[in-house]
Structure 1
Amino acid sequence: MTLPRRHILRAAGAAALILSPLPSGGRALGQAVRSDPAAPWAEAPAAAAHPDPRIRALAWAVLAPNPHNRQPWIAELPAAAPDTVVLRCDLDRRLPVTDPFDRQITIGLGAFAELFRLAAAAQGFATTVTPFPEGEPRPRLDGRPVALLRLAPGGVPDPLFAHAARRRSVKRPYDMARPVPPEALAALATQVAAPGRFGGTIAPDQVAAIRGLAWRAWQTEATTGPAHLESVDLMRMGREAVAAQPDGISIYGPGLDEAVAAGQITREAMLPGRPGYDIMVARYAPMLEATPAYVWTSTPGNSRAEALASGRDWLRLNLAATGLGLSLHPVSQALQEFPEMAEHYAEAQAMLGQGGTVQMLGRLGYGPAVPPTPRWPAATRIRPA
C-alpha cells in the first residue's frame, strides 16, 4: 500500500487525524492548538477503523512511557514495504544534559516498539523487531534506524495489552497502609525477559536505603544548574501551552491554569531560591517517603540493544502493575550519567546492578487515579519514506 503524502485517519466517534509527512529535519508538523492534550488516549482504540495495521498499532505505540515525556520517536512507513515501520529517534527530542549518551531515550524507544508489538498482536499480527539494523551509534544516537518493525500474520494477543489504555506514571504519594504483597513482585518478575534482569523489594530496610539514594540523587539534579534548567525548559505551563506542545513536563489543570494566567507559575519561579522551586522540593520529599516498594531492571552489559530491550521490559512492568491495581513511577535520577551524578550512579550500580548495568528504577505501590499524560497524535510522528 502506497501512503499518500496527506492521509486522513477517520474513525467512528473520533476526531479526524491528518497524516502529515515530517520534514527532513524530523520535527513534527501539525502543532496547532488542540482542545484536549490527552485526546490520543481516546484516539488509539478508535484507530481500529484504519485500513493500515501499522497505523492502528502506531496509534497505541505513541502512548508508551518515555523520559521527560519527550516522545522521541519518528515512525517511517516505506511505501515499498507495506509491512514495515522504520523507527528512528527525533534527535531534537533528546536530553543532552541529564541523558548525555541517550541511554534513557533509547529505553523510551524500546517501550514504543513493545507497545507497537502488543497492539499489532491484538490485531493478529506478529512483529519482528530488529534492533539497530545499521549498527549501534556511539556515543549518542544519530540518524540511523533504532529498529525495524516488520509485521506478519499470526500474532498471538498478549493479556497485558488490555491494560494499555489505563497505564499511568503515578507521581503521587502511595498508600502506606496497603503493603505491596510478595506475590505482586513475583508476578512482575515474570515480565522481564533476557537479557533483562528484574529486581524488587518490599523489605523496609532496603526500601529505606533506595529511598535515601533516590532523594539524594533528585537533590543533585535539582541543584545542578544545567540539569535542572533542562527540565524547566521543558515545562509546558497552562492548558493552552500544553495543548500546543503536548510533550515535556505538563503543568495544567484546575487551579494551575489560573495561577499560570495570573503570572504566579512561571519558568523563573521554578529556579532555585524562587517560590515554585521551594514548592517543588516540599512536594517531592513526602512523595518519596510514601513509597512501600521499589522495582528495578538491569542488564549484563550496556549496549544499545540492551537499553532497547530494557524499554520493552519497563513497558511490560507498567502494564502488569496496572493489571494488579498497582502504581509505578520511574525515579531514575541516580541512573543519569552526567558528571555531578557520578557518586549516586556508582552507589546505584553497586546496590542494584547485580554485576551489570541498572537500566530503570521505580517506586511501586497503591496510588490514586491520575489523568493520562498529554501526547502528540500518532499522525504527527509518522512520515512516509
Structure 2
Amino acid sequence: MSKKKGKKTMTIIISSIGLLLIIAVASLFIISGVFRSPKYLEPWETTYSQKFEDPRIRLIAHGLLAANGHNMQPWKIRLDRDNPLAFYLYADSDRLTNEVDPFARQMMVTQGTFLEYVKIAGDELGYKSTVELFPQGDYDEQQLLESMNTTPVAKITLTKDNPLSSPLYDPIFLPDTNRVAYQSTKLTSEQIDQLINLTTDMNMAIKIFQDKENVDKLGSYAMNAATIEAGVTRVMKESEIIFRANEYQKNKFRYGFSFEGQGTSGLMRHLMQGLVTLFPSMNSGQAAADMFIKSAQTSVDNTPAYAMIITKDNSRSSQIQSGMLYSKLTLTAHRLGFVVQPLSQALEEYPEMKEPYNSIHLDYASDGGTIQVLVRLGKPTKEVPQSMRRDVMDLIECDPITIDIMGE
C-alpha cells in the first residue's frame, strides 16, 4: 500500500470514528430527553403563583419550594370550605421514607419548612399568616399513618394586610441545597450572630461551628454515617427507587432525586442521564454506594462551617418548629451569600445508625436535647440547578364543592 493510500485510509477511519462518536453522543442526548420542556421547573418561576386567583393557592405555591426530605414534597392541603382565607396542612403518609425516617421525625421537620415559606410569602403578598399547630389535637403515635391522614399538622388562616417586603422572599426561588465543594471562607462574628439570633425561643437554638476541632469532628461523623448508610442495602434501595434518570421521568413524577441535586448541570447532565437510562446499574448497588461515599467525602473535605438546630424536647410541635427555623436559616444564609447542605445521615434513627446517633447527641446535645438539623455551611464554588417540584394543584385534595381556584 502506498503512503498516500495509507493516509487516506487513516483519514477515513478517523472520520468514521468521529461520526460514530457524534451519533453516540446525540443518541444519549435524545435518550436523556434534551428536547423535552422541563415542566418540573415551572413552580420555580417567580410568576408561577400569579396565575392563581385564590390567595391560598398562591401561598401554597411558594411553600412548595421549601426544603424537604428526599425531595418527596410530602404535603397535602385541604381548603377550608367555609373560610376562603383558611386551609389545612396534612403530612402525606404516602410519601414517607420509612427506611431512613422510621419515626417520621424528618417528615415533621419538612412540614415546618413549608409553613415558614408560606408565612414569608404571605408578608410579601399582603397576607398575614396565622399558623396553629395541631388544631384538632396531636397524633395518635400508635396509629401514626392513620393520624397523618385524618389529623392536620396545622391550620393556616390568612388576614389581608399591607404588603411587607421581606429580605427572605427573593431567596425562596434559589435552590435550597447546594452539594458542591464550598470555599474556605468562614463566617464573620456578625454573620454568626445574625444566624443564631433567628430564634428567641428558649426551647430551640442554632449553633454554628467553624473551629478546626469541631469541623473535623463533625466531618468525621458525617463520613462515618455516610459509610454506614452506603452499606445498608434497603436504605440505598429506597433512594434508588425515587431517582429520576431522565427528562421523561422527571416530568412524570416531579419529585425524588436527580442529577441536578448532585450539582450536575448543562451538557454533562444530559450525558449522565442518557448513560444511566441505558445502563441503570451505573446508579444502583455498589456503584451507587461508592458514588455516595465519594460525594460525601468531597463535601466534608470542602466545608468551612457546620450549623445545628437543637430542640430541648423531641415533640411533634418542636420538630415542626425546627423546620420553620431551618427555612429561616437557609434563606438568611442565602441572603448573606452562603449556601447549605443537610447532612442528615448521623441523625437518622434506623438500627444501623444507632451508634453515631447516640454519639453525636452525647457530644453536642448532652443535656437531653435533640439535634433536629445538621448542615454544612459555606460560600459555593458554583451555582447549582433547581430540583424538581410538583404542580401546586397536585397538593390540593379535591373537594366535592367546585372551587374556582384559577378564576377561569
Alignment TM-score, normalising by the size of structure 2: 0.81
Match of 1:352 among 358, 364, 368: 364
1:119 aligns with 2:121: yes
Residue equivalent to 1:281: 293
Residue equivalent to 1:209: 217
Q: Kindly provide the amino acid, as one letter, of the partner of residue 224 in structure 1.
A: V
Match of 2:85 among 83, 103, 106: 83
Residue equivalent to 2:302: 290
263 and 103 in structure 1: CA distance in 2 versus 1, 3 angstrom threshold: closer
- Larger mean Cα displacement after TM superposition, 154-163 or 59-68: 154-163
CA distance in 1, matches of 2:366, 2:127: 36
**Which 5+ residue runs of structure 2 have no aligned equivalent?**
1-35, 400-408
Residue equivalent to 1:196: 204
Give the percent of matched residue pairs that are identical in Structure 1 and Structure 2.
Answer: 27
Q: In 2, are the aligned partners of 1:233 and 1:267 still within 8 Å (CA)?
A: no
Q: CA deviation at 1:102?
A: 0.7
CA distance in 2, matches of 1:292, 1:342: 27
Helix, strand or coil for the counterpart of 1:255?
A: helix
**Which 5+ residue runs of structure 1 have no aligned equivalent?**
1-32
266 and 73 in structure 1: CA distance in 2 versus 1, 3 angstrom threshold: farther
Q: CA deviation at 1:180?
A: 2.5
Q: CA deviation at 1:207?
A: 0.7
Aligned-CA RMSD value = 2.0
CA distance in 1, matches of 2:337, 2:208: 17
Residue equivalent to 1:93: 95
Helix, strand or coil for the counterpart of 2:40?
A: coil
Q: Kindly provide the amino acid, as one letter, of the partner of residue 340 in structure 2.
A: L
Helix, strand or coil for the counterpart of 1:236?
A: coil
- The total of aligned residue pairs comes to 350
- Larger mean Cα displacement after TM superposition, 191-200 or 95-104: 191-200
CA distance in 2, matches of 1:333, 1:162: 30
CA distance in 1, matches of 2:268, 2:119: 39
Residue equivalent to 1:108: 110
Q: CA deviation at 1:258?
A: 3.1
Q: Kindly provide the amino acid, as one letter, of the partner of residue 218 in structure 1.
A: A
266 and 186 in structure 1: CA distance in 2 versus 1, 3 angstrom threshold: farther
Q: Kindly provide the amino acid, as one letter, of the partner of residue 376 in structure 2.
A: R
267 and 199 in structure 1: CA distance in 2 versus 1, 3 angstrom threshold: farther
Q: In 1, are the aligned partners of 2:255 and 2:388 still within 8 Å (CA)?
A: yes
The structure with the largest alpha-carbon Rg is: 2
Q: CA deviation at 1:259?
A: 3.7
Residue equivalent to 1:376: 390
- Larger mean Cα displacement after TM superposition, 99-108 or 50-59: 50-59
Q: In 1, are the aligned partners of 2:341 and 2:375 still within 8 Å (CA)?
A: yes
Q: CA deviation at 1:34?
A: 5.7
Q: In 2, are the aligned partners of 1:97 and 1:338 still within 8 Å (CA)?
A: yes
Match of 2:236 among 220, 228, 248: 228
Q: CA deviation at 1:264?
A: 6.7
187 and 354 in structure 1: CA distance in 2 versus 1, 3 angstrom threshold: farther
Helix, strand or coil for the counterpart of 1:38?
A: helix
How far does the alpha carbon of each residue in 1:283-304 deviate from its partner, in whole angstroms, 9 at most, with x for none?
A: 3212211000000101110000
- Larger mean Cα displacement after TM superposition, 192-201 or 109-118: 192-201
CA distance in 1, matches of 2:53, 2:282: 48
Q: In 1, are the aligned partners of 2:342 and 2:375 still within 8 Å (CA)?
A: yes
Q: Kindly provide the amino acid, as one letter, of the partner of residue 291 in structure 1.
A: T
